[in-house]
Amino acid sequence: ADPDPLQDLCVADLSASISANNFPCKPFSEVTSDDFVFDGLRKQANFTDAFGVTVTTGNVLSFPGLNTLGIAMNRVDIQPGGINPPHSHPRASEIGIVIEGKILAGIVTTKNVYYSKVLTAGQVFVIPRGLVHFQLNVGRKKALTFTAFNSHLPGSTVLPLNLFAAAPSIPVEVLTKTFLVDEDAINNIKSKFVF
Ligand code: GLV
Ligand code: MN
């Protein structure tokens, strides 16, 4: 989904003072072999969040060598019973491969049609750009999936956090009227998202 590169390589200078629609390239004289290698997906990060998932991102921000190339990769570790909650990527389609475990992978279209499948090691799934999707670990062991994107910065709108953990918060009245419930119900949900 990203624009095509205009030159062989453009390793991002993340600390450049100018801000453009992507990152400027660091000088060729400073580019090294290490710029084309990323170790950040080697290990499972610690599970720290409420959902029992850790999404480790290899995008232009963590892996500047991806700058302008229109690709990125994540590692998704999900605890038994954990969920990578409904989210969407505004700038990329996603393709994923299950390495271990058993996940229910679901997609909902803009017409509210739901597609889903239970997947195990070696199976590959695709999420069309922008569609809401999730992965639930339905196995007894941890699940490991690698995902890839056609953007160097796909972005991720995580629906529960977007709505209930925004800062500053969305006015309660917006949420009570959106979900047709009272304030207690909204505050109850919000209280779970104070990390
Ligand atoms: C999984 O859906 C991911 O965004 O990495
Ligand atoms: Mn995703």
Q: Please check whether residue 117 lies inside any domain of the structure.
A: yes
Which domain CATH number covers 75?
2.60.120.10
Distance between Cα 89 and ligand 2 center (Å): 6
Confidence of residue 21 (pLDDT cuts 50, 70, 90): confident
Whether residues 62 and 106 share a domain: the answer is yes
Residue 69, in any domain of the structure: yes
pLDDT tens, position by position, 62-96: 999 999 999 999 999 999 999 999 999 999 999 99
Residue 88 Cα to ligand 2 middle (Å) = 6
**What percentage of the chain has pLDDT greater than the value 70?**
99
Any domain includes 4:
no
Domain total of the chain: 2
| Cβ–Cβ < 8 Å for 91, 154 | yes
Average pLDDT over residues 40-54: 86
From the CA of 89, give the closest atom in ligand 1. 4
For residue 3, tell me if it sits in a domain.
no
Q: What is the predicted pLDDT for the residue at 79?
A: 95
Tell me which ligand sits closest to the C-alpha of residue 56: 1
76 touches ligand 1 (CB under 6 Å): yes
User: Do 145 and 171 lie in a common domain?
Assistant: no
Are 89 and 149 found together in one domain?
yes
Q: What is the pLDDT of residues 154-184, one digit of tens each?
A: 999 999 999 999 999 999 999 999 999 999 9
Within a domain: 8: no
Q: Do both 36 and 122 map to the same domain?
A: yes
Cα of 183 vs centre of ligand 1, distance in Å, is: 31
Look at residue 12 and tell me if it is in a domain. Answer: no
pLDDT at 68: 96
Q: Whose CA is nearest to atom 3 of ligand 1?
A: 147
Q: What is the mean pLDDT of residues 31-51?
A: 90
119 and 173 inside one domain: no
Closest Cα to atom 2 of ligand 1: 134
Q: Ligand 2 center to residue 137 CA distance, Å? A: 14
Q: Is residue 175 part of a domain?
A: yes
Do both 103 and 179 map to the same domain? no
Whole-number Å distance between alpha carbons of 62 and 115:
32
Residues 112 and 147 placed together within one structural domain of the fold: yes
Is the pLDDT at 195 greater than 70, yes or no?
no
147 pocket-lining for ligand 1 (C-beta < 6 Å): yes
* pLDDT, mean of residues 127-134: 98
Q: Write out the residue range of the structural domain in which residue 101 sits.
A: 28-155
